[in-house]
Chain A
Amino acid sequence: AQSVTQLDSHVSVSEGTPVLLRCNYSSSYSPSLFWYVQHPNKGLQLLLKYTSAATLVKGINGFEAEFKKSETSFHLTKPSAHMSDAAEYFCVGRGSQGNLIFGKGTKLSVKP
C-alpha cells in the first residue's frame, strides 16, 4: 500500500516569497498523488494531481508540484506566496483499496 509523509507540520513564509511544502511517498507501484488544501472551517479542495502523464504538474492558484521518482518526492511549490494561501495542505496518495491516504498536513502561515 502507498503511504505519504509530509516533512513539515508548519511552514511560515513572508508574502511574496516562495513556498515549498515537502512530501515523500512510498509505493510498490506507480503512484497516484494529489495535493489538497483546506482553509479554516472549510472542506478540502483539490490543488493538483499526478497520474504519470507529466512529472511537473500545474495546479490552481499558481501552485505546482514535481514528481521525482528517484527521490520519491512530490513537493508543492509556489513562486510567490499570497496572504490567501494561508491554509493547511495535505499530500495524498492512494491506498491498496483505492481509498485516499492523507498525510498529516502542513499548516502554511503567510506573514505580511
Chain B
Amino acid sequence: KAGVTQTPRYLIKTRGQQVTLSCSPISGHRSVSWYQQTPGQGLQFLFEYFSETQRNKGNFPGRFSGRQFSNSRSEMNVSTLELGDSALYLCASRTSGSIGTGELFFGEGSRLTVL
C-alpha cells in the first residue's frame, strides 16, 4: 500500500508569491491534516479536512488555506509569502476513526524556502 505522498518535496519562492502544496493520502483514508514544522515553533497544526470539509483549524492567518477533493487528495495554499513561512509542511492522513486512538500517517513533507 502506498504511503502518504507529498509534492513537491522542495521548492523555493520569493516574498509575495503564493504556493500550492499537494498531498495524496493513503488509499481509504478520508482525513487529511496539515502541519507546519519550523526550528523555532516546532510542529504546529494548520487544519484538518474530512470528506471535503474543513473540520478543525489551527491558529494561522487567513493566508493559509486548504481544500480537499472528492478523492481525498488535499492541497494547501499560502498566499503573499513571508520569510517566516519557510518551513517543512507535513501532511498526515488517517481513517475516519477518532483522533484519540487513530494513528496518523505522515508524508515526508514539502520543504518551502522563502527568499
Q: Which residues of A contact B (CB under 8 A)?
A: 32, 36, 41-46, 49, 51, 90, 94-95, 97-105
Contact = CB atoms under 8 A, between A and B. Distances in A.
A51 B101 contact: yes
Given A41-B108, A43-B4, A99 B103 contact: no
B42 A103 contact: yes
A105 B35 CA distance: 15
Contacts, number: 55
Which of A41, A42, A100 has most B Cβ within 10 Å? A100
Given A99-B56, A99-B58, A46 B103 contact: yes
Range for the number of chain B residues in contact with chain A:
20 to 34
A54 to B, nearest CB: 13
Interface string B52-80: 00011010000000000000000000000
A45 B105 CA distance: 7
B36 to A, nearest CB: 11
A104 B43 CA distance: 7
Contacts of B35: 102
